[in-house]
């Protein structure tokens, strides 16, 4: 949601698999509201503990409900959103891909208002990342330049940025169903027609569904830091991930990352600086840009004494 990174239209760089925005609290605000997607090759991870091995094995088991299925869920329950009325449980059959991820879809605790926003707005503003076809971003956003945001949490910051910059489209990717519903509700309430919500694996989106040089930017705010050393392979910002991302960025496109986890900030700076197609817009870390709103998660980190680091890199002209 094939280890084969080639799209039907062109061969794409080989990318070990992934992260939207996201894991213990994505942190897809990817902390990215509910977990980003981490690009790593994976066969089975080392069995650090029996529990971890069991958890990993369970994540690789194909779900009883097939992608887009409207059949009853296990136990006789109806699917939360029948086909076409909301985000699919596993739009690209991702569990069949043998690679490490740093996110798990969370579909519980969807409030009535969130579910209502999804049912009313998903057909117009939502899309499942099924990996089956290319997305025409020009048609999807009426010709606006488009920034991909991987991991948006509950969507408050995304909605604020969309309102402040109506001439830029935001393709907001996450797997957190309550966050998807909340962002759609915010977009509707505030008349934000420049937001689209993508449900699923951002690696599949980048690799299979976006054309080369089609993005005006990438935003990854507070991805899951995976602080334990044995879990660092699950982090989103890795060389392989950037090798894929940069093929989808137009010249001059901005990559903007932010984290409050110092060791991850250091890794981000190292990895971004090593990518030959990117150049740092600042000397080291960037000052906090005015256009990035203070998120709830960021505020919690600041209250705990965390230091937030922003990184701004530009895609070089070919």
Residues marked active site are found at 224
Alpha helices in the chain (DSSP H): 50-60, 112-125, 137-140, 156-164, 177-189, 202-204, 239-248, 262-274, 296-303
Cα dihedral 44→2→180→125 (10° resolution): 180
Instruction: Give the pairing of strands 278-280 and 309-315.
Output: antiparallel
**How far is the C-alpha of 98 from the C-alpha of 269, rounded, in Å?**
28
Per-residue DSSP letters for 159-226? HHHHHH-TTSEEEEEE-BHHHHHHHHHHHHHTT-TTEEEEES-HHHIIIIIS-TT-EEEEEEES----
Contact 234, 267 (CB under 8 A): no
């Amino acid at each position: 949601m094939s280890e084969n990174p080639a799209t039907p239209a062109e061969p794409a760089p080989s990318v070990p698999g992934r992260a939207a925005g996201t894991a213990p609290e994505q942190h897809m605000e990817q902390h990215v509201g509910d977990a980003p997607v981490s690009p790593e090759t994976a066969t089975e991870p080392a069995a650090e503990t029996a529990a971890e091995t069991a958890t990993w094995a369970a994540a690789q088991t194909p779900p009883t409900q097939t992608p887009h299925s409207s059949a009853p869920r296990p136990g006789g329950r109806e699917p939360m959103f029948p086909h076409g009325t909301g985000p699919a449980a596993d739009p690209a059959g991702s569990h069949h891909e043998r690679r490490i991820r740093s996110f798990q879809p969370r579909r519980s605790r969807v409030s009535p208002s969130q579910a209502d926003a999804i049912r009313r707005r998903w057909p117009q503003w939502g899309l499942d990342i099924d990996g089956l076809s290319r997305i025409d971003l020009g048609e999807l956003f009426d010709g606006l330049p488009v920034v991909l945001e991987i991991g948006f949490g509950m969507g408050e910051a995304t909605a604020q940025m969309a309102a402040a910059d109506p001439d830029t489209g935001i393709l907001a990717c996450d797997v957190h169903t309550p966050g998807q519903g909340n962002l759609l509700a915010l977009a509707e309430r505030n008349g934000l027609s420049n937001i689209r919500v993508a449900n699923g694996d951002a690696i599949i989106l980048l690799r299979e569904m976006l054309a080369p040089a089609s993005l005006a930017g990438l935003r990854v705010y507070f991805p899951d830091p995976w602080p334990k050393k044995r879990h660092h392979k699950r982090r989103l910002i890795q060389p392989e991930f950037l090798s894929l991302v940069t093929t989808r960025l137009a010249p001059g496109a901005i990559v903007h990352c932010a984290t409050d986890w110092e060791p991850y900030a250091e890794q981000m700076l190292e990895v971004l600086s090593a990518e030959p197609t990117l150049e740092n817009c600042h000397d080291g870390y960037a000052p906090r840009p005015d256009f990035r709103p203070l998120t709830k998660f960021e505020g919690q980190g600041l209250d705990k004494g965390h230091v937030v680091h922003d990184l701004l890199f530009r895609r070089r002209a070919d």
